[in-house]
């Protein structure tokens, strides 16, 4: 285990994914979300395949023991990606990032509902705290007094991003089931493959011919998406998940910087305050998960003859 290398890889993956999201955002005025999902997924595949070949893992990366599990994970994950990409066209990048933090909180709830995982008072309290933060971020978008077109569009965008977070949490539940039978490399590869195919369903609903600049940006976003997956997976090879997971929240710093300097987006106090609550709740859940993991490990060791 090389913890500092793991942290560096995790931070690199977070930065790559935020840059990818900003590139998608730059095309939202003309390119529909379904088409962006297609580019993001298709051009991630050669990067992932090259990585698997370099690591001599093509055999495991292309081996699917539970094909329908990959399909369902693909359906849910593609829906989450499409809703998130659509929301980027309506809301500032830091706000989309903050609302997206609802996903790991909801994963705790869905894991208890669908996987039978035990959730006690501490984690329930952390989830409630985080969801209060989400409501604080959402409140200005949903408190539409004037009812003007801009306010309605922002409210619609907020609902899209929140819906994306819900589906992203469901996707994590599917992943938790898949890891029991599938290699991580297979999960990464087949998600990109299924997302590419599923995104074609949106073809009749208004795909456009992108400009040369838009095409270059979308292809670049896809390549970065593949690179981000590699960096993320590699970070968990180098260090414990409980160590590197909190660095997910560095994405807010990157989103604030890119939002301000690239898109001239100035964060509001409510967005920053709500995001702070969400991040605090997320870190508390990660800390609790780590503590529970250590307790389970000690119990297994004590039971070993």
The mean of the pLDDT values for the chain is 89
Strands (E), the chain: none
Angle between helices 3-27 and 250-263 in degrees, nearest 10: 30
Q: What is the pLDDT of residues 248-297, one digit of tens each?
A: 999 999 999 999 999 999 999 999 999 999 999 999 888 877 776 656 55
The CA distances from residue 269 to 241, 260, 273, 275, in Å, are 31, 15, 6, 10
Count of beta carbons in the 10 Å neighbourhood of residue 153:
14
Q: Which residue has better confidence, 165 or 297?
A: 165
Q: What is the pLDDT of residues 178-202, one digit of tens each?
A: 988 988 889 999 999 999 999 999 9
**Structure token pair of residue 161:** 């991003």
Residue with tokens 């006690």: 120
**Structure token pair of residue 51:** 């990585």
Q: Going by C-beta distance under 8 Å and a sequence separation of 6 or more, which residues neighbour residue 159? A: none
| pLDDT above 80: residue 54 | yes
Q: What percent of the chain has pLDDT over 70?
A: 93
């Amino acid at each position: 285990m090389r913890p500092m290398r793991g942290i560096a890889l995790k931070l690199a993956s977070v930065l790559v994914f935020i840059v990818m999201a900003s590139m998608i955002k730059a095309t939202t005025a003309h390119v529909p979300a379904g088409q962006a999902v297609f580019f993001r997924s298709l051009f991630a595949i050669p990067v992932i395949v090259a990585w698997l070949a370099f690591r001599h893992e093509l055999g495991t990366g292309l081996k699917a023991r539970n094909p329908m599990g990959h399909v369902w994970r693909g359906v849910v994950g593609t829906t989450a990606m499409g809703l998130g990409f659509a929301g980027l066209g309506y809301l500032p990048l830091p706000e989309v990032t903050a609302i997206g933090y609802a996903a790991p909180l909801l994963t705790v709830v869905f894991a208890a509902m669908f996987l039978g995982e035990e959730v006690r008072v501490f984690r329930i309290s952390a989830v409630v705290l985080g969801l209060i933060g989400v409501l604080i971020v959402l409140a200005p978008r949903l408190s539409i007094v004037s009812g003007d077109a801009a306010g309605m569009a922002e409210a619609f965008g907020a609902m899209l991003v929140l819906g994306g977070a819900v589906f992203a949490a469901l996707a994590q539940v599917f992943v938790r089931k898949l890891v029991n039978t599938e290699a991580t490399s297979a999960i990464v590869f087949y998600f990109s493959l299924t997302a590419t195919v599923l995104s074609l369903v949106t073809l009749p609903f208004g795909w456009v011919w992108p400009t040369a600049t838009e095409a270059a940006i979308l292809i670049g976003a896809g390549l970065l998406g593949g690179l981000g997956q590699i960096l993320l997976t590699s970070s968990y090879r180098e260090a414990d998940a409980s160590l590197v997971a909190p660095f997910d929240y560095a994405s807010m710093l990157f989103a604030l910087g890119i939002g301000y300097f690239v898109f001239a987006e100035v964060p509001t106090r409510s967005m920053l305050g709500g995001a702070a609550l969400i991040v605090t709740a997320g870190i508390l859940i990660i800390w609790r998960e780590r503590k529970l993991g250590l307790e389970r490990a000690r119990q297994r060791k004590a039971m070993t003859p």
